[in-house]
Structure 1
Amino acid sequence: MTVDGTAPATSAGLPASRAGSPIRIRDVDIRFGEFVAVRGASLDIAAGELVCLLGPSGCGKSTLLNAVAGFVRPAAGEVTCGGEAVTGPDVSRGVVFQSAEALFPWLTVRQNVAFGPQMRGVPKARRDAVVDRYLAMVGLAHSAERFPEQLSGGMRQRAQLARVLANDPSVVLMDEPFGALDAQTRLVMQVELDRIWRETGATIVFVTHDIGEAILLGDRIVTMTAGPSAAIKKDYRCDLPRPRDLTDPACAALFRELREDIGAEVARTLRAQGLDDGHDGRPGADRPERTEER
């Protein structure tokens, strides 16, 4: 159910097959010793939403995601999922990592996907049905008996997603999962993720530094300021019809707005490092002419 008690719906207006859980982040500070990675972050994510966290490298996107996963404990503030405080990792919050090395290399694809349900004591007949369902969903039924080293990068990420989904999570947390893929495979995976999200109805939080990827996937796009002491900067509602085309005028306009938003943070980081050349982060912005002393 959504936060208002209604059944969640996909962007196409169809009811989701399974409800996700709402996420609430309130006044969260995250510290590592004396270093403040995130300060005062607050964000509400409705059940069944796909929200992209977008920002330059080092802005705390993954750190905030890890707090929702329960891998990191906030120094202040609170994170809740489904109304329950997040105090540590839980099977209800599945994580898809950027690295395909997260798969167990000594297990086949089928065994990798079955691992979670097996550890939870799911009976074999039911476990086999769950594995078959999610292997078919991610298009890997034909590769079930292969080992990870026998798969392409895109196939390994599909296997990792199937392994997470087999635990029936209400929240799926994705930390730049397609960042290491080639451009064409990445486009295929973006389309597949959109389809799988519609089919499962899970809440998805997707970390990326790719503006186009955020526009193609997100119900909302949340930008963050540059670190340290990173914070939530702006929340963009992305109501554009799916599937999306980045050459569409509405998508292109949003792309430009986000590019300026993120560019300003990159410029601020450069200034802090003493590397400022007078550029304000906007593509095509004029730089001041340099005058040489004679």
Structure 2
Amino acid sequence: MDMSVEFNTKIFSYMNTLTKAEKKVADYVLDNMENTIYLTVTELAAKVGVGETTVLRFCRRIGYKGYQAFKMAITKEVAKQSFDTSEETDEMNAVQSLVQKSTTASIQALKDTSQLIDMEMLEKAVALLTSQKRIVMYGASMSGNTAEDARNRFLRIGVIIEVYTDAHMQAMSAATLTKDDLAIGISISGSTKDTIDALRIAKSNGAKVISLTHSKLSPITHLSDVILLTAGRETPLQGGSMGAKISQLLVIDLLYNLVANQRKNEASRLKELTSKAVLDKAY
């Protein structure tokens, strides 16, 4: 898919100043812009066959402050090209098309996530959830909302999870963890700085770490004892992909049901108690 002349020209104008390795990055990006918008810096480096520092140096060389700023520029170009080449349709057809596309994307995200499930990793996660003394969960933005959903879900079976979405609170809570505790980080990109910083602190204190992420080659996985992959992905312009959210919730639901099944009688007793506790909250 051809991108805008302006963006191509910007990269080509720097070609003579790039090193051989940086030119490899430029060539890959120009040929794979639609895929590049979904890649972390680690994944792009691996696909091109260069180091992460080369990718970052390339981004700065052509005028961007860093990789995320570069990826944002590519995303805008891809979105602009898609808009410029879209066919005009009447309003009703446009609505029907949007409904179909959104539904298909959500279903596909669930199917893809189920295929990514690593049973061994899932079992390890359940073992940690049922054995560690204290459980904390970190996430930002939409991933923070997923963490809160997980806390509320697990509360029904007596598994208490602390959730922190503020960067300062994440760091402070992580500093109090020990080898008997569990830290869970949720990040679609696997590159959310505040979440990773908190997990790094937790890890340094001996706590076990579980990560939920779309990207297997990302900073968050380097800190993780258990990696749970989700299929949903998002571009810098989306910032709240429903496919990504649904994928996260599927993994949370699997963990919840597996823990509940392991505890059986106790989980059933607590689900009944928590349900009765809110019976009078509805008309």
TM-score normalised by the chain length of structure 2: 0.26
Q: Give 1 or 2 for the bigger CA radius of gyration.
A: 2
Higher relative contact order by CA 8 Å / sep ≥ 6: 1 or 2?
Answer: 1
Specify which structure has the higher proportion of helix.
2
Structure with the bigger percentage of strand: 1
TM-score, with normalisation over the residues of structure 1? Answer: 0.25
